[in-house]
Copies of this chain bind each other. A is one copy, B any other.
Amino acid sequence: MNIGMFESFVTGHWFSSEAKRLWSDVATLQAWLDVEAALARAQAGLGIVPADAAATIATKADARLFDLPRLAHDIAFAQHPLVPVLHQFEGLCGEPAAGYIHWGATTQNIFDTASALQMRRTHRLLAGHLDAAIAALGRLALAERDTPMAGRTHGQHALPMTFGFKLAGWIDELDRDRRRLHERLAPSFVACMGGAIGTFAAMGEAGREVEARLAALLKLQPAGLPARSSYDRASDYIASLALLAGTAQKIAQDLAFMQRTEIGEAAEAFHMGKVGSSTMAQKRNPSTALLLASLARLLRARVPPALEAMVRMDEGDSSATNVTDTLLPEIAIIATSVAETLARLAEGLVVHRAAMRRNLDLTQGLIVAEAAMMQLTRLMGRHEAHRLLYEAAQRAQSEGLPFMVAIAEHPRLAAEGVPPGLKQALEPSAYVGASAAITEEVVARATAQRPAA
């Protein structure tokens, strides 16, 4: 019985299958067991548990040896998520090793450290998709470095730019998103082994050394003060994912607009067999872009409960950890899917330069009113120049005239004559500013060799 969006026959394909595998029941159990094995090994190195026991524990720390349906049943009965796992684990190890499993640890230590391992794997996956998206957008940006199109603010044509410049804006933001995630991964997901309340009481003097060695074995940072009621670290990475979601949704929305029937400046990949509608045979929907927007919303919506769940009673509070324990896998899968979908969208993008040019010319010059403004300002001051152009522009719009005609016919210029160079200034493709240079710089910076995560 499939339940929930990740495995549903309708929506399962929205989500990264690799990310789902990383957070499946089996993978989660295995991550717990990996932590238990590393704990025993760290403790054996300090003489806290016998080396033999640690070796047995490591050998049996294999999720395939466990009876998952029985675990599910026993967990429901005990109303404790780990004790039944430990029981099966003890059975697999046998005495005396069984006695040394989970020595001095508390359940949440295992969960938090295991999820750090899972998040690191998730991050690699996600970062790979992000790299691919940036690379694809970067190639496109260089190819369209000089393609003029309308820049739009508040839904209205504002100034010309190039499509490369538009893409550079997305790349720049994605690059910052990626850098934030790289930098914050390690401090956000740490190894915690302080026991029930973080005092290391059960391990005596050696506690912090055990945590440090465990962390080293797992290639994580040690928590140091492993407070279970502290979730700011993970929340920081989660909040950074929300920024990625914001960027992705912005890109998705812009592309859905560019594919609008009336705009037609870009289109996402299409294959025969892709269906837009059960009755409207003509439909080529920007379904990948809209899916990306949906995934971004699903991701962003999960940030407020994570932030709220930072607020925890005393030294531990399952009303909060229940929330974050179930939220983190969802966030991990959705975030990876955002990056994967973004890469797919970027890689398949089709550009229609002619449509860009057609749209750019729609306003018959109004889109370069600023260029005229800059010229007239030198002549008559910015206030006066704005008044003249404002009047000419409103008349051009009301009467459907080319802007140049309206300017030339404005009482003031009709008398004084049109200043030289103004006509040339009204060629949109000549007023794209530093579009090309910025495009090249941003692409170079974002696609430079980066150090591995």
Q: Is the CB of B434 within 8 A of A200?
A: yes
CB of A158 within 8 A of chain B? Answer: yes
Binary interface profile of A, 62-79, with partner B (CB < 8 Å = 1, else 0)? 000000110110011111
Residue pair A323, B298 in contact (C-beta under 8 Å): yes
Once A159-B197, A195-B279, A442-B225 are accepted as A-B contacts, the answer to whether A23 and B3 lie under 8 Å apart by CB is: yes
Interface presence of A449 (CB below 8 A): no
CB distance from A332 to the nearest CB of B (A): 11
- A434: which B residues are within 8 A, CB to CB? 199-201, 205, 207-208
Docked complex Cα distance between A370 and B274 (Å): 17
Q: Mark A287-317, 1 if CB is under 8 A from B, else 0.
A: 1111101101110111111011111111111
Task: List the B side residues contacting A26 at CB < 8 Å.
Answer: 1
Looking at chain A's contact residues, the main secondary structure is: helix
A309 to B280, Cβ gap below 8 A? no
Complex Cα distance, B79 from A288, in Å, reads 9
B80 touches A278 (CB 8 A): yes
Residue in B80, B199, B203 whose CB lies within 8 Å of A435 = B199
Q: Can you offer 16 A-B residue contacts whose CB atoms are under 8 A?
A: A98-B381, A106-B277, A152-B314, A153-B197, A153-B314, A155-B313, A156-B276, A159-B197, A172-B225, A194-B433, A207-B434, A285-B318, A291-B318, A294-B320, A294-B323, A300-B304
11 other A-B residue contacts (CB within 8 Å) besides A99-B382, A202-B433: A2-B25, A11-B322, A86-B382, A104-B279, A106-B278, A151-B315, A153-B196, A199-B435, A281-B393, A290-B318, A294-B319
